[in-house]
C-alpha cells in the first residue's frame, strides 16, 4: 500500500522555529522521502531477483535505499510529532523512566543535548527491549539505528533542520527544540508499547 504524508506538521508558530524552516523541512524534505519510498517500493515489485548480487544489482540497491528511506520517513514523522509542545520537565510515565534509568532528568537532558552536538543526523531516546531500559542513541544517517528498541523522543540535528534559522549555531537550535518538546506525545508512545507495565 502506498505510503502517505502523515498529519504531523506542527500547528501554529513554534518558539524558535520560523515557518519557512518548518515548511522547507516538512513540505519539501519529508514529503520527498515519502514519495521516494513509494517509488522504491514500486520498482521493487518489478525487480529481477535472479540478478541479485552483493557488488551491484538493482535489487540490492533498491533494498538498501528502502531501509534508508523508511527510516528517514519514520524518524521525521516521530520528530515532527514530538515538537509543538511546551517543553519543560516531563511528567507521568516518561518522567519515572528517565529518573530510573538516567538517575535524574538533568542527567538525561545533559546527555541528550551533548549528543545533539556530537551526532550528524539524529538523537533518539528509545526504550531498548534487550535490557528494558531507556537509552539515548546517536544516529549519523537515517539507516543507522538499534533494532528492537522503541522510539520515544527524536531530535533531528541534520543541518537542514536548523540552518535557515540558526546558521551554524546548533546549540541555539537545541535550546529551541527543548522549548518545544511535546511530552504528552512521548507519554503516549510509552503507553502504546506498554513500557511502564514491563518494568
Ligand atoms: Fe530532517
Dihedrals phi, psi of 151, to nearest 5 degrees: -75, 130
pLDDT in tens, 18-72: 999 999 999 999 999 999 999 999 999 999 999 999 999 999 999 999 999 999 9
pLDDT at 101: 97
pLDDT at 198: 72
Inter-CA distances, 62 with 52, 68, 95, 157, Å:
11, 10, 40, 26
Between the CA of 122 and the centroid of ligand 1 the distance, in Å, is: 9
Q: Is the pLDDT of residue 199 over 70?
A: no
Buried-state track 180-198, b at ≥16 Cβ within 10 A, e below 16:
bbbbebbbbbbeeeebeee
What's the pTM?
0.96
Q: Is the pLDDT of residue 196 over 80?
A: no
Between the CA of 91 and the centroid of ligand 1 the distance, in Å, is: 27
Cβ contacts of 96 within 8 Å, gap of 6 or more: 196
Q: Is the pLDDT of residue 83 over 70?
A: yes
Mean per-residue pLDDT, 174-198: 93
Between the CA of 83 and the centroid of ligand 1 the distance, in Å, is: 13
Between the CA of 182 and the centroid of ligand 1 the distance, in Å, is: 18
- Which superfamily, per CATH, for 92-198? Iron/manganese superoxide dismutase, C-terminal domain (3.55.40.20)
- Within 10 angstroms of residue 153's Cβ, the number of other Cβ atoms is 26
Q: Is the pLDDT of residue 100 over 80?
A: yes
Between the CA of 4 and the centroid of ligand 1 the distance, in Å, is: 17
Residue 170's closest CA among 160, 179, 180? 160
pLDDT at 82: 98
Is 159 strand, coil or helix?
A: helix
Between the CA of 197 and the centroid of ligand 1 the distance, in Å, is: 32
pLDDT at 12: 86
Between the CA of 153 and the centroid of ligand 1 the distance, in Å, is: 14
Q: Residue 150's beta-bridge partner residues?
A: 127
Domain boundaries along the sequence of the chain: 19-81, 92-198
pLDDT in tens, 57-77: 999 999 999 999 999 999 999
pLDDT in tens, 118-175: 999 999 999 999 999 999 999 999 999 999 999 999 999 999 999 999 999 999 999 9
pLDDT at 194: 87
Q: Which residues surround ligand 1, an ion (CB under 5 A)?
A: 156, 158, 161
Mean per-residue pLDDT, 91-110: 97
Amino acid at each position: 500500500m502506498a505510503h502517505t504524508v502523515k498529519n504531523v506538521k506542527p500547528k501554529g508558530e513554534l518558539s524558535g522555529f520560523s515557518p519557512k524552516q518548518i515548511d522547507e523541512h516538512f513540505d519539501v524534505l519529508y514529503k520527498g522521502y515519502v514519495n521516494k519510498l513509494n517509488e522504491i517500493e514500486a520498482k521493487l515489485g518489478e525487480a529481477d531477483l535472479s540478478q541479485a548480487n552483493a557488488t551491484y544489482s538493482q535489487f540490492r540497491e533498491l533494498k538498501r535505499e528502502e531501509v534508508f528511506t523508511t527510516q528517514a520517513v519514520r524518524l521525521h514523522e516521530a520528530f515532527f510529532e514530538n515538537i509543538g509542545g511546551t517543553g519543560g520537565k516531563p511528567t507521568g510515565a516518561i518522567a519515572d523512566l528517565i529518573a530510573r534509568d538516567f538517575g535524574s532528568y538533568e542527567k538525561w537532558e545533559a546527555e541528550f543535548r551533548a549528543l545533539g552536538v556530537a551526532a550528524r543526523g539524529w538523537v533518539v531516546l528509545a526504550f531498548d527491549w534487550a535490557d528494558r531500559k531507556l537509552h539515548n542513541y546517536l544516529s549519523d544517517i537515517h539507516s543507522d539505528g538499534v533494532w528492537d528498541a522503541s522510539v520515544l523522543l527524536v531530535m533531528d540535528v541534520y543541518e537542514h533542520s536548523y540552518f535557515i534559522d540558526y546558521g551554524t549555531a546548533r546549540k541555539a537550535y537545541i535550546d529551541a527544540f527543548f522549548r518545544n518538546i511535546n511530552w504528552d506525545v512521548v507519554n503516549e508512545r510509552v503507553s502504546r508499547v506498554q513500557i511502564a507495565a514491563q518494568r
